[in-house]
Structure 1
Amino acid sequence: MGTSIGTYKRFKPHILMVLAQIAYTFLYFIIEASFNHGMNPHVYITYRHSVAGLAMLPFAYFLERKKRPKLTIDLLLEIFVLSLLG
């Protein structure tokens, strides 16, 4: 029993990496089937970014709430210039 837990802890990153690759494979097949049935790639990208943004919003808000600086005009202009230059 003790050696199996030690083995699991040792190979946990490898197992998670394999599971992530399997998940990406399933996602690839689903995307290909959607494109073959007529889904526009631009619509897919819009949905993908919308879902990712909604999924990350609670984590960004609650985990980073006290770490963010106040939003001043200088900071807003800096963000604007950096996003403009890309």
Structure 2
Amino acid sequence: MTRYGPRRRSASSRGTCALTWTRAAPEDEPGPGPWTEIAFGEGDDLVHLRGTSDPANVVTTTRAKWEAFANGVRAGESDHSVTG
């Protein structure tokens, strides 16, 4: 079966323990989160995302899909879903 979109995997099933995770948190925020973390696979085309509250649950997507998402956010394509 062909699967489209992000894949969910546990951290141990992809060897994601060896990745360098970057936390998306405000620089002045002292607390532990929960935050989203991102890691770019070395030598492959994958981007890994996880929440600090459940680091074993990793969502994996391609760099092309991640870049399309990030460019859309920068362009304001998701602003309509933000309240306040």
* Structure of greater Rg: 1
The TM-score, its normalising length taken from structure 2, stands at 0.27
Higher relative contact order (CA 8 A, sep 6+): 2
**More strand by percentage:** 2
